[in-house]
Structure 1
């Protein structure tokens, strides 16, 4: 409306000016000409002096035009700006100290609620009328809820503010986020009000107070868990363009624990995306927000939140048209924490933030006074530390923080150590009213200051690590101090120019491992030449000339355009029979084959959750993080081997898992059960886990049970699986697909967590690297065949182990799609130095897999 009125004003002004200018000028000129024509010639000069000169007329007209424009502009501004109104909505709460809370106030439809709400609205109207910056623009208020204390009323207020007054109104509210009450106004309408707080509100959130079609009120009961979901969950998506809210309550003087057991809404990809907010209040005000959630989370991700009082508010605002199932949540009440912190003594112990690993509650302070034996010093080791807030200023620690020795710590930190100069230390933790995190888990230790790490290396951070981790090429100290000032072992390590030590097999692998590129400097071919993937040097002019001059296709693999080349074992063949210059083109999102066959059957290698061997040196995986991982159980033995899902009916595993031994016919399909979607071996009966038997087990005919050559098998399920967020297939690489030396790959499984140890309950994951084949063969002489690949670290530490056999080696490609690079096969021990794990190469056996399964 404003822009339309302004446009109309400019048009009218232009027409009026044009008419005055040309019409008036024409009349003057005609009058002068007529006078010149009919008066005597000797009077012509006199007549000419009677009227103003032409430039004076023009100047007067221009001045008039400017004044008229200015006047019209002022009128336009007056009507479009001075009188334009902006809707401002504030959410807040006020405390009434002379009214006692009754149960009826929980029900918005009760007479008692309506009566009290009406009085609160009248109080707000009276209070606003006494504030010049607000009173004239006040329109309406609404009360959304009441809670204990004596009675807290949660409300919204709407103002219609002239455009030029908006900043002043915002300033009045935001100055203290509280409306300052005149002393005479503290008692209004028989109410005694001791505080009234207001915050600017997102208009989308404010609508939830007026539309009750998706509004719910729930009350926890002693000893019971109350559950709720988004409308339609899980059978249908939550509503489009919805404004939903759940009011959660507990009994007076208790607090609430809220957990999202399943969470999947539209991704957090842009402003205005679908959002779930949780508030430590019944009013949706930003300073009392506990968390903001969007996207999807693994079921194993910790989404437990605590309140500081007996109420919480959960809101869902949907703006996208994407179809997602929403969330499933539960809450219960528990006693309010009476104290936080305490006195800790002894040589060692542990402590953590309240409710760890759940999110600590807002608005809490804890102090731990720690004392160890005399003549010893105290060391605090934070093993996990997460105090992250979305709006905190980086490095300031003004909101949630830990304070020790006068220094504040916040944010997300790797394991770190803080020490004292005496046998005492004080640790303080502070959480403000908004946005909480999982907090920290720490241990305290006593130590001799003259030898803080007996028999071990002391990092500059105070952390103790084993001496054999010193100068091994890996930063075991978070400050890298274990890798500084090293003398490298020339037998196993390369000395970088910056004096860092790196494993020899990383030299000339195409990756800058030293950081100064010195491990790659002596690896290049001469100037004006190109280094092939197999090490061969060719003239630069032969690169991207549509000829395989290298012999491995690497000179044509990374060219901007893709063309057909002569077929070799290194090139990708389309279904039409033509071969491409491009390396690894399958399922990369680009149609390179004219028949599109490189992008067919690509519903694989994607997982619903993206968040970060028994795997020795590994860590717990998230549920659904590796949805193709399968657990194979032999009758009476539990988990024995792993496998990978490659289609709805076929698995890939290791042939050696099905060798008959000790009188047990492991080759018999009826002996086995496959568990898909499994995360924790102790929870095999949970929803989401699918159990299948086998129709047939097909080991490779050339499998050698002595050398483990051709260690691969395919397994057909007795009935298809259903694809879900935790059950999906992994992509199979083409026979030409390469996984170069130095590439990072993930190994997963439930095997032993140390050599000679026991299996893991929770699926483990470990990140390892492909080792150069020549290095692999030198480390395991006369044992490695072309069907095998070494993956791991020469210094050990991370590896697969017993119980991981048959499981996947998952390679994340550039577009995020994951391919099955290998199958866990064998190794000498687990995670030993210079003894990397050996895996069956899947690309080499790709044609055999297709022949047996059709996949």
Structure 2
């Protein structure tokens, strides 16, 4: 009761009429309680965030670093090549002890060090290659990487008596993908090879070529040469899984015996044609080749070889003639990493020096454009790198110095340059001088074609109105480029006069309609062109401009077949699309010519007539059918060309001098079907179908090309490739290696004006009115290859006829293949 009294004495009684005060007191209590709860919640949140933050800081990340160091007071022993020898194990133990001492002196490394292992030794005095493992707090990860990448010298403390005479310098390491880590117990796919004398040593992926390389594996090849040598490595055949991101199967070559990124010479995936330059050099007597497989796809792998050659004592030198040439070491092979070359060029005293780089390939991955921080050529204080067209550099005196630098990593083909002396008052005697210093023939000035890379030959011109159009920017362009849908002037002035008024749409016929009538599901143009290319695919009335599905319905999308998107409700636009793809990407940079690569045009066929060799070309459209030109099979008094037994078809062929090369298939013809309407005077309907006696076997160099639908459009200005073994010049001789040339579709109206009364709707003009690139005798029957959606290639035409070869204003004429799609289907079922 006493406590109750105490309690009662502390209570304040309010008058009855003070009800509002009573209520107010009650609310304040709940507010205080709510505030207290909220405060507790905020406190818990802050504590939680702090706990999360510090826990996050304590998250440990496993880091593997691959590196190398130099032991300066040891001589290399042959026993060091054997990782099981006592000598190797003893020296490796010293290296790992030294590394541990080094890491303990670095605060960001010492507490988190786990272990190290030596993987190899090489000359110089002795270079040790190793990996070190750390478990580092996540927030220190970047700081640890910087510490490891800093070159250090190990200073051994007195307590390290066993290492007191062990001198180590140049200790450096870099983060490594854990997949690339070499573990001592993982030697099932590890190989050590040493070059002997001048012999070539061959090695392949396990199982090559009869079975695929191992799935989800890590393989490595340690390549060595004698002291004082460098290694030349060549991949003679290369086919691994296609490049598709971080999990690709990957072959990497290192200018080292440790897989450190700064010493990467090349990374390879996918497939390469045999003729592609896959030769790489080292800067010392070792290379490391690794294969990391992340997939289970079946590919044969690679066949490689290497040999040793003496190390260059130096490169560059003094050039004192009035003119000459020079190049990077081993050009047109790839230059080695880690070299410096300097050329001091001097011409007669009263002349200046002009350098012309004919070929220039100093490309390196992950280099910001224009920085030239890795491989470069330096002239007059300016650096040049990357991949450049022909360019000229001049001096203001009779002397010039050219310096070439290659770092430790990725290498390229390099450059080929020529130098000459010239009079600064007349740098191009009898010729036109480009703004870049390049000399071109005077007749190329103001011809509508940019022969100077800076377009200086086409500026300040007076255009010839009979065959040239004057752009607003004063450039001259061929008349046939006007209104072809391509901005050839650069300011679009060649296309401005061709447009309908703003807010309207121009039909193929030239008729202008309100924009709202485009893609409204109705044929307002009358020719279907307003419904032919719409963003949203819909069913429309069938016209000559629409694609007809197998179910009879038509869609308004332009060129929908085999573009990777299903546009027909029955999926027929994506059926029978096993065509128009090549195993090898168009990655070759052919030096000094237009030779094709093996497998670049796998549908190209060479037709040999008995006793005459190559006569015509053809294209493969299915395992048993070829397309060619009907005029190839017109009989003459001396030879019955229409007889299929007189012909042999060679598939997968690149060089006419190598008819029995690996991959080439030889086939006899079963029958020849020339179009019944073919006219051997006008060359109208110039198309023929050839059936093989036995089906072709598809391979990396034998594949079919896609046939275009009847509504497929190849617009004016579109780039298309013509290929063949025909004459390389009018009246010349045929080519041995398959030739390729990029040409453009020419507006049909322009072509009809150039070749009056000679063209029919079944013909198309492709080429350049300036001449220079064209099909010629012996190319007849070959394909026009057009790269369409997703890199798939369609055959636009068949080489048919022309007036001469590559003459001005005389473009080549080709059979328009889309006009014959129904006939081909009826005859072959394809």
TM-score between both structures, scaled by the size of structure 1: 0.88
Does the CA-based 8 Å contact 1:127-1:185 persist in structure 2? no
The alignment partner of 1:192 has SS state of coil
Does the CA-based 8 Å contact 1:156-1:206 persist in structure 2? no
Aligned to 1:348: 323
The alignment partner of 1:209 has SS state of coil
Does the CA-based 8 Å contact 2:315-2:340 persist in structure 1? yes
1:582 aligns with 2:554: no
Deviations 1:51-109 (A, max 9, x none): xx97999988888887787677666666x356543323222222223433232322223
Distance 2:380 2:292 in 1: 44
Q: 1:530 aligns with which of 495, 498, 505?
A: 505
CA shift at 1:271, angstroms? 3.4
Deviations 1:211-269 (A, max 9, x none): 22322212222232222233343444433332222111112211111122333334444
Distance 1:546 1:43 in 2: 89
Deviations 1:322-343 (A, max 9, x none): 4444333221111111221223
Does the CA-based 8 Å contact 2:648-2:667 persist in structure 1? yes
1:505 aligns with 2:480: yes
Distance 1:347 1:164 in 2: 62
Aligned to 2:418: 443
Change (3 A) 1:83 1:569: closer
Q: 1:690 aligns with which of 639, 644, 665?
A: 665
Deviations 1:90-139 (A, max 9, x none): 22222223433232322223343333323332333344445555344332
Change (3 A) 1:213 1:743: same
Q: 1:515 aligns with which of 490, 499, 512?
A: 490
Distance 2:746 2:497 in 1: 19
Q: 2:11 aligns with which of 44, 63, 76?
A: 44
1:202 aligns with 2:202: no
Does the CA-based 8 Å contact 2:253-2:287 persist in structure 1? yes
Higher mean C-alpha deviation, range 509-518 or range 304-313: 509-518
Higher mean C-alpha deviation, range 578-587 or range 474-483: 578-587
1:215-230 aligned within 5 A: 215-230=190-205
1:814-829 aligned within 5 A: 814-829=789-804
Deviations 1:463-513 (A, max 9, x none): 112222222222211111111111111111111111111111111122222
Change (3 A) 1:178 1:42: closer
Aligned to 2:253: 278
Aligned to 1:723: 698
1:393-542 aligned within 5 A: 393-542=368-517
Aligned to 1:26: none
Aligned to 1:543: 518
Aligned to 1:554: 529
Does the CA-based 8 Å contact 1:492-1:504 persist in structure 2? yes
Distance 1:40 1:366 in 2: 101
Distance 1:295 1:685 in 2: 26
1:193 aligns with 2:167: yes
1:667 aligns with 2:642: yes
Deviations 1:125-165 (A, max 9, x none): 34444555534433211111111223222111222334455
Higher mean C-alpha deviation, range 151-160 or range 262-271: 262-271
Aligned to 2:18: none
Distance 2:257 2:732 in 1: 51
Does the CA-based 8 Å contact 1:275-1:292 persist in structure 2? yes
Q: 2:264 aligns with which of 281, 289, 306?
A: 289
Aligned to 2:749: 774
Distance 1:239 1:350 in 2: 47
CA shift at 1:321, angstroms? 5.0
Distance 1:697 1:563 in 2: 41
The alignment partner of 2:173 has SS state of strand
Distance 1:852 1:425 in 2: 68
Change (3 A) 1:62 1:796: closer
Distance 1:35 1:838 in 2: 121
Does the CA-based 8 Å contact 1:187-1:193 persist in structure 2? no
Distance 2:258 2:296 in 1: 27
Change (3 A) 1:641 1:345: farther
Q: 2:87 aligns with which of 112, 115, 125?
A: 112
Distance 1:67 1:694 in 2: 88
CA shift at 1:362, angstroms? 0.8
Does the CA-based 8 Å contact 2:742-2:773 persist in structure 1? yes
CA shift at 1:289, angstroms? 1.4
Distance 2:107 2:573 in 1: 71
Does the CA-based 8 Å contact 1:92-1:196 persist in structure 2? no
Does the CA-based 8 Å contact 1:219-1:250 persist in structure 2? yes
The alignment partner of 1:471 has SS state of coil
CA shift at 1:307, angstroms? 0.1
Distance 1:789 1:35 in 2: 117
The alignment partner of 1:555 has SS state of helix
Distance 1:376 1:273 in 2: 55
The alignment partner of 2:805 has SS state of coil
Distance 1:639 1:162 in 2: 70
Q: 1:676 aligns with which of 628, 648, 651?
A: 651
Aligned to 1:793: 768
Aligned to 1:13: none
Aligned to 2:17: none
Change (3 A) 1:113 1:634: farther
Change (3 A) 1:58 1:741: closer
Distance 1:185 1:147 in 2: 29
Distance 1:327 1:543 in 2: 54
1:807 aligns with 2:782: yes
1:39-188 aligned within 5 A: 44-45=11-12, 80-81=55-56, 84-163=59-138, 165-174=140-149, 176-181=150-155
1:657 aligns with 2:632: yes
CA shift at 1:563, angstroms? 4.2
Distance 2:401 2:170 in 1: 37
CA shift at 1:356, angstroms? 1.4
Does the CA-based 8 Å contact 1:554-1:583 persist in structure 2? no
Aligned to 1:261: 236
Distance 1:200 1:377 in 2: 47
Does the CA-based 8 Å contact 1:732-1:820 persist in structure 2? yes
Aligned to 2:22: none
Deviations 1:773-806 (A, max 9, x none): 2221211122222221111111112111122111
Aligned to 1:838: 813
CA shift at 1:827, angstroms? 1.0
The alignment partner of 1:723 has SS state of coil
Does the CA-based 8 Å contact 1:253-1:310 persist in structure 2? yes
Does the CA-based 8 Å contact 1:369-1:425 persist in structure 2? yes
Aligned to 1:49: none
Distance 2:34 2:556 in 1: 76
Distance 1:469 1:185 in 2: 79
Does the CA-based 8 Å contact 1:377-1:447 persist in structure 2? yes
The alignment partner of 1:430 has SS state of strand
Count, aligned residues: 813
Does the CA-based 8 Å contact 1:36-1:44 persist in structure 2? no
Deviations 1:795-845 (A, max 9, x none): 112111122111111112233221111111111111111000011111112
The alignment partner of 2:83 has SS state of coil
Distance 2:746 2:37 in 1: 87
Aligned to 2:290: 315
Structure 2 unaligned blocks of 5 or more: 14-27
Change (3 A) 1:110 1:640: farther
